[in-house]
Structure 1
Amino acid sequence: MSFFARIRALMRGKEVRGGSVLILSSVIAQAITLVATPILSRIYEPDAFGYLTLVVSVTGMITPAVALRLESALMLPKDSKQASALLFLGLGITAVISVLSGLVLELLFAAGQLQAMAGLAGFSAWVGGITFLSGVFVLLGQFALRVRNYRAVATRNVTQAATTAFAQLGVALISPSAVGLVGGYGAGRLAGVIPLVGSIRRELQRFDRADIRLVMREYRTFPLLFAPAALMNASALALPILFAGLWFDVADAGQWGMAERILAVPLVIVATAVSQVVESRLAFHVRSDSHGSTTYYLRVSLLLLLVSVVIGVAVLFLAPIVVPWLLGEEWAAAGIIMQLLTPMLITRLIASPLSKALVVAKWARVNLVLDASRLVLVLVVIWLCWSWGADVAQLVLVTSLAFAVIYVATWLTGLAAARHLDRGSESRTAGEA
């Protein structure tokens, strides 16, 4: 089959049509962010963006594990009552962990630690609140995807982006401070939850304590293994930029955060939307005992490879020119950082969406090893950069190369997981025969 024939085959199916809706919503959401960014960059100082980056990085470390990965388990139960019990359990856990995260930060600040973060009034409260909203945001979104309500998730994406942009711009008219940026970000999370609440109400089923105990036993690998793996993965992504903000300067974190804000456009449009569709499609294969997981994995890989190379080349050559022109000369360092992050960007665009194969295959231990390796590698990079007195640019480059290596390993492991799913389907089909 030719490359273009594979692409046409990939475009068939409800999941891909749903993915198109998600991608369109992500494009609109990122367009809103892009339009707002040049305005915000000329109103708010790099220091203000630095505090926003620190808040987003800390919440980004916690959020992937705030529901103990039960959001991924939501895709798997055949019984809607069990799925409803999982959702309720995840929401309760999210509330507890969010409160604890804020309390831990308060204790650290009281002990004189992390003073760069403490420079933002209410830092711990912002982290706790945004972490909770983010957990609810993800849980309800996954439940909507379970029932293939792609439109609700698409509405969530646009609502969040629009509210964030308008809130940050509105507060800037009164007082352009870091509180305005962080508060606008939190308002966007809250607004994004609203479309999801109404969309899933009819799909919820009554359940009892026995159902909760059942799902806790059935999906215990998610909190026991996938949650630590998610925490390590998120920590590996956040620690370098947190180190830059704490060791160098909050403004350096702001430059790095601005670079990631722009690079998030292809990551959100491509990686996030595709990952949701990939997880839904592979989970459907498992529930229906159908084949084709490996073929689907390779087809998506080819498409992502083409897209990621085009995006990577564009960033490499255009970032130093476009960023200062778009954001202002004081943001020139962000363009250089984008160039240095290109190896990580290309490999992440391919590997990140397809890593969902590990979740669907329930390869919790393998996933844990991958994420532990990523975290160890990042810690080694930070230690080396600290030891030899590296500057921010050197820290960014070494971090980017280290992540590229890990993402290649992740893609190879995901391919093995897809093959495992096909072998499992063949075994079940043969047993029924």
Structure 2
Amino acid sequence: MPLHPHLSQEALLDQRRPGRRLGMTLQARLARLTGNDMVRDVLRLVTGTVGGRVITLAAMPFVTRLYSPQDFALLAVYLGTVTMISAIACLRFDVAIPVAGDDSDAAHLLVLALLIAIGTALLGLIAVLLAAERIAGLLGQPALAPWLWLVPLGVFLSGSYSALQFWATRARRFGSIAMTRITQAAAGVSTMLALGWAGVAPLGLMLGNLLNASAGGFRLGIDALREDRTALAGVSCRGLVKAFAAYRRFPLYSAPEALVNMAGAQVPILIIAAFSPSEAGFLLLAQQVMAAPMKLLGSSISQVYVSRAPEEFRAGRLADFTLSTMRKLVVLGMGPLILAGVLAPILFPIVFGAEWSRAGEIVAWMVPWMALQFISSPVSLVMYVVGRQRAMLVLTLFGAIVRIGAVSIAAQSGGGLMIGAMIGASAIFYGVCLVIFIISSRLKLLNIIN
């Protein structure tokens, strides 16, 4: 019997080669921390995420000198609108794809999600064509009216990318997902810089962010057509109706929860933008910079978690798997977040320009909020795995009320405390989320402490 039953024969031979001992030691440490399969999947996604974030962050010092805080304020309102609508663009049938009982159900859910995304975008386009100025006025940003046509386009691309990414996640096609994150970043940055130098603001900022978030859908779509032709060929109208009925809990409970969740995150920003556009611009830059360490590992781990959680749940190992994921998030994620909070007030004026120093201060305040969100968000899908969609809806409604209420009260009190109110309320919400997710995965407090 081998001395190391978890290592392959090739790995055992490599251990005897002095030149490769250091590499194998590192691999062994990673394996102990996360498990071999999860390490491989996470590292594939991290590679793409790192590449995408490096491209985006490297361009930001140029972007902040080409676009003003007021341009970023318009971007914040645009992104908030697109994000809220995109959350329900597929009626959450996209989220059901990885947890579908078989590939036939998953294929029907994919097509269903794409069709609904098209319908949602068309409805949005009709609304923009009929009442662009009125919609921009309701958003508190009349200057956004000429660019509102980007909203339905962004909704369609974001919804399609989400559905195709969940399909690729089910197939564990993590290499393709990683590649899309690099190509999206390159396309988005190129657009922002080119149009910024041409003086086309704020269009360049909005179009660049649109591509940065969803351009990879084309690659994932081609992969699905090439690799999964048999499963997709079996899709029928009758099957679509059956899939809609079988997974109706997602539009009934998950869609409202997603909309409320996005409203809780984005409506406070819209309120801040209406009362103080420049503050909204500073907040957006701070959030984008803080998203770098979060997206580096958090989103990658989330993709792997959702691909394996249903299997672990059926095997009775969901609690241990969730605990392993949370420990990895703490060990690998807290350092970058804390470092960003310490250095941001010093580096922001140097890196992004003197007018962006306020954004650096906001980053320092955001660390507790982002830390709790970083740990809780990747394992939030445990609520869907164990069938607690209703509880998730109630939890999300609580978060929206707390965050929107806090910012609204601060706005009526003069507006100076709006960002502080949003940060404090968000930290409270994600702290409560973490406790609920722990309970839902049947983890015991003693296990977490140990």
Judge conservation of contact 1:108–1:114 (CA < 8 Å) in 2.
no
Verify: 1:352 aligned to 2:377, yes or no. yes
Residue aligning to 1:236: 264
Secondary structure, counterpart of 2:215 in structure 1: helix
- Alpha-carbon shift at residue 6 of structure 1 (Å): 9.2
Alignment RMSD: 2.1
What's the counterpart of residue 350 of structure 2? 325
User: Post-superposition shift, 1:57?
Assistant: 1.3
Q: 1:313 to 1:15 in 2, by over 3 A?
A: closer
8 Å CA contact 1:102, 1:128 repeated in 2: yes
Identity, % of aligned positions: 25
Work out the CA distance in 2 between the residues paired with 1:112 and 1:329: 30
- 2:304 is the alignment partner of 1:304: no
Q: Secondary structure at the match of 2:337?
A: helix
State the match for 1:284 in structure 2.
311
Q: Which has the higher contact order (CA 8 A, sep 6+)?
A: 1
Structure 1 residue runs without a partner (length 5+): 421-433
> Quick check: 1:266 aligned with 2:290?
no
Say whether residues 1:378 and 2:421 are aligned partners: no
Query: What displacement does 1:356 show?
Result: 1.3
Contact 2:34 2:328 in 1 (8 A): no
Is 1:83 the counterpart of 2:83? The answer is no
Structure 1 residue 177 displacement after superposition: 0.9
Measure the CA separation in 1 of the matches of 2:139 and 2:167.
39
Shift of 1:307: 3.6
Counterpart code for 1:245: A
When residues 112 and 168 of structure 1 are mapped into structure 2, their CA distance, relative to the original with a 3 A threshold, is closer
> Which residue identity is paired with 2:290?
L
Work out the CA distance in 2 between the residues paired with 1:131 and 1:115: 17
Question: Superposition pairs for residues 43-58 of structure 1, below 5 Å?
Answer: 43-58=66-81
Larger radius of gyration: 2
Deviation digits for residues 79-135 of structure 1 (CA, Å, limit 9, x no counterpart): 222211111111111112223334446537337833643303533211111111000
Partner residue in 2 for 1:41: 64
Alpha-carbon distance change, 6 to 228 in structure 1, aligned in 2, over 3 angstroms:
farther
1:416 aligns with 2:439: yes
CA distance in 1, matches of 2:274, 2:372: 28
Q: 1:195 aligned to 2:222?
A: no
Mean CA deviation greater in 167-176 or 214-223: 167-176
Q: Contact 1:16–1:277 at 8 Å: present in 2 too?
A: no
Q: Match of 1:175, SS?
A: coil
In the alignment, residue 26 of structure 1 is paired with which amino acid?
T
Give the secondary structure class of the aligned counterpart of 1:419.
Answer: coil
TM-score (norm 1): 0.90
Greater mean alpha carbon deviation, residues 252-261 or residues 29-38: 252-261
* Cα separation, 2, equivalents of 1:314 and 1:112: 38
Moved more, 334-343 or 161-170: 334-343
C-alpha distance after superposition, 1:3-39 (max 9, x if no partner)? x999643432434311111011101100000110001
1 CA distance for matches of 2:127 and 2:275?
21
Cα distance in 2 for residues equivalent to 1:6 and 1:190: 35
Q: 1:233 to 1:38 in 2, by over 3 A?
A: same
The code of the aligned residue for 1:216 comes to F
Deviation at residue 55 of structure 1 after TM alignment? 0.9
The residue correspondences of 1:8-407 to structure 2 (distance < 5 A) are 8-104=31-127, 107=131, 109-110=133-134, 113-114=137-138, 116-189=140-213, 191-201=215-225, 202-204=227-229, 205=231, 206-249=234-277, 251-286=278-313, 289-391=314-416, 394-407=417-430
Q: What SS does structure 2 have at the residue aligned with 1:65?
A: coil
Shifted more, 113-122 versus 67-76: the winner is 113-122
1:423 equivalent in structure 2: none
Q: d(CA) in 2 for partners of 1:65 and 1:395?
A: 27
May I ask how many residue pairs the two structures share in their alignment?
Answer: 412
Secondary structure of the structure 2 residue equivalent to 1:77 = coil
Q: Does the aligned pair in 2 maintain the 1:29–1:157 contact within 8 Å?
A: yes
TM-score by length of 2: 0.87
The amino acid that maps onto 2:78 is V
1:176 to partner: Cα distance = 4.1
Shift of 1:236: 0.7
Answer with 269-278 or 30-39: which moved more.
269-278
SS in 1 for 2:72: helix
Is the contact between residue 71 and residue 138 of structure 1 (CA under 8 Å) also seen in structure 2?
yes
The DSSP-based 3-state class of the residue aligned with 1:75 is: coil
| Inter-partner Cα distance in structure 2 for 1:320 and 1:376 | 30
CA contact (8 A) 1:69 1:227 kept: yes
The one-letter code sitting in structure 1 at the alignment partner of 2:380 is S
Check the 8 A contact 1:59/1:127 in 2, yes or no. yes
Cα offset for 1:384? 1.3
Q: Deviations over 1:237-281 (max 9, x none)?
A: 1112111111222x2221111111111101211221111111111
CA pair 121-379 structure 1, distance change in 2 beyond 3 A: closer
TM superposition shift of 1:171: 1.4
